Amino acid sequence: MKTYLNCVAVAALATGVASSAVAEEWNVSLWGKQRAFTEHVEKLADLVSEKTNGEFTLNISYGGLSNNRENLDGISIGAFEMAQFCAGYHRDKNPSITVLELPFLGVSSLEQEVELSMAVYQHPATVADLARWNATLLMPSPLPQYNIAGLGDAPSALADFEGLAVRATGGIGAAMATVGAVPTSMSASEVRQAMDSGVVKAVAFAPHAHMSFGTIENATWWTENLNPGTVNCPVVVNTDALDGLSDAHRDALLGSVDASLDHYIANYNGATMDAWGPALEERGIETVSFSDAEIASFKEAAAAPAAAAWIEQNTAAGLPAQELYDLVTGMIADGSM
C-alpha cells in the first residue's frame, strides 16, 4: 500500500511539473490606457488564450513595466516579452522603419498602411536592424494621416504656422518645420501637460489620440486636411522568447496576427471615427481646411527634401535606404494593395 501511495505521489508531482512546463505567460508593455491604438494587442491576447485553452497568456500592462520610450530597450534585455513603440521616439535605434514616417507618402487607408509596414518589416535590412535589439517585428499599429489640434487663433494659411510650437515627431515634424513651425518631440502621455503649460500650442495626432490624450479638451481648432503623414508604431517580441515557444504556442501567436489586425481596422474605421466628428462638434472646435494649392505647395516643400535627406543619412549609416524607399513608394504607386 505504501509503495502504491509513493507511486501516486511521484506521478502527481510529475504531472504538476509537466503542466507547469506547458503553461506560458508573457508580459506585454504598452502605455496610456486601452484604446483604438491597442485593440489589436488586446485581441491578440484573447485569441492566443482561446487557441491554447489558457495555457499561453499575454499579461498586458499599461505603463507598469516601462516608459514608452524605453520599450525597445526592455525587449532587448528580456525585461518583458512583447511591447509596442513608435519609431519616431528613437529614430537612431530603428532607422529602417522610419521610412514609413516620411511625409506625404500618399498612403490612403489603414489596410494599405498594414501592407506597407509588413513589407518593410520583412525586408532583410529591417530584420537585421531590429535584431540588434533582440527584437522581432510582429505587427504594425496602422494609423490614419495625422492632423493638428491647437490653441488660440486658428491658422487661415500655412504661413500662420510660423513660430508655432507643435508636438510633431518623425517626418511630420520635419514637414512642419518647412512651413516655419517649431516641432517638438514628446511621447503621447506628455502632451496634455505640455499644452496646459504652454510648452506647445498645437499637437499632431491621429483622431484616436486626440480623444484619448485629451488634446481636444482645450483645443480651439484642428486641421481637417493637412495630412502630412503618420507615424509607425510596431508591436515587437523578444526574439529569444519567440524562439523558446513550443510549436503550438508559436503557431497560436503568429496565426492570430491577421485576425487581430482585422479587428483593429474594423474598430478604428467604425467606432473610433464615428466618435470623432461628434467629439469635435460637442466642444465647438473650429475646422480648418487648406486650399488644394496650399497643400500642393506644402507637399512640394516637404516631401522630396525629407526623402532625399533620409536616403542620404541612412545610406551613410549602412542601410539600403534607396531600396527601402523604392519598396514603399513603388507599392503605393502600383496601387494593387
The C-alpha angle with vertex 171 and arms to 167 and 175, in degrees rounded to 5, equals: 75
Q: What residues pair up with 26 in beta bridges, in sequence order?
A: 58
Of residues 147, 149, 141, 189, the one with CA closest to residue 37: 141
User: Based on the domain organization, do 179 and 47 belong to the same domain?
Assistant: no
Measure the CA–CA gap between 213 and 35, rounded to whole angstroms.
Answer: 10
pLDDT by residue for the chain (337 residues), tens digit each? Answer: 444 444 444 444 444 443 444 789 999 999 999 999 999 999 999 999 999 999 999 999 999 999 999 999 999 999 999 999 999 889 999 999 999 999 999 999 999 999 999 999 999 999 999 999 999 999 999 999 999 999 999 999 999 999 999 999 888 999 999 999 999 988 888 999 999 999 999 999 999 999 999 999 999 999 999 999 999 999 999 999 999 999 999 999 999 999 999 999 999 999 999 999 999 999 999 999 999 999 999 999 999 999 999 999 999 999 999 999 999 999 999 875 5
Residue-level pLDDT at 13: 46
3-class SS string, 218-249: CCCEEECCCCCCCCCCCEEEEHHHHHHCCHHH
First to last CA, the chain: 70
What is the rounded distance in angstroms from the CA atom of residue 39 to the CA atom of residue 110? 14
66: CB partners within 8 A, 6+ apart: 29, 73, 74, 79, 80, 83
Asked whether residue 10 is domain-assigned, the answer is no
b vs e for 154-173, b when ≥16 Cβ sit within 10 Å of the residue's Cβ?
bbeebeebeebbbbbbbbbb
Question: Helix, strand, or coil here: 164?
Answer: coil
Tell me, what DSSP letter sits at residue 34? S
Q: Report the alpha-carbon distance of residue 204 to residue 145 in Å, rounded.
A: 10
Residues 208 and 62 in one domain: no
The separation between CA 63 and the C-alpha centre of its own chain, rounded to angstroms, equals 15
**Of 75, 148, 178, 120, which Cα lies nearest the Cα of 314?**
120
Q: Are residues 119 and 226 in the same domain?
A: no
Q: Are residues 34 and 168 in the same domain?
A: no
Is residue 157 located within the same domain as residue 192?
yes
Specify whether 124 is located in the same domain as 252: yes
Residue type, 100: L
Query: What is residue 21's predicted lDDT score, i.e. its pLDDT?
Result: 47
Q: What pLDDT, on a 0 to 100 scale, did the predictor assign at position 170?
A: 85
**208 close to 230: Cβ distance less than 8 angstroms:** no
Where b means 16+ CB within 10 Å and e means fewer, 67-84 reads ebbbbbbbbbeebbbbbb
Residue with cell 487557441: 51
> What pLDDT was estimated at residue 14?
45
Query: Are residue 120 and residue 180 in the same domain, yes or no?
Result: no
Give dist(CA 294, CA 174) in Å, integer: 17
Would you say the pTM of this structure is higher than 0.75?
yes
Residue that has been written with the C-alpha cell 512546463 in this structure: 21
**What is the C-alpha to C-alpha distance for residues 117 and 108, in angstroms, rounded to an integer?**
14
Residues 50 and 176 in one domain: no
Per-residue DSSP letter, 18: H
pLDDT at 6: 46
Query: Are 106 and 32 found together in one domain?
Result: yes
Q: Note the pLDDT of residue 59.
A: 98
Residues 214 and 94 in one domain: no
171 and 314 in a single domain? The answer is yes
Q: Is residue 110 included in any domain, yes or no?
A: yes
**What length is written for the chain?**
337
- Give the residue from 84, 179, 93 showing the smallest Cα distance to 141: 84
The CATH number linked to 212 is: 3.40.190.170
**Domain annotation covers residue 4:** no
Strand 24-30 and strand 82-84: pairing?
parallel
Extended beta strands in 31-131, E state = 56-62, 82-84
Q: Is residue 9 in some structural domain?
A: no
Q: How many domains does the chain have?
A: 2
Q: Whole domain around residue 37: which residue ranges? A: 23-141+231-272
If asked whether residues 50 and 105 sit together in one domain, one would say: yes
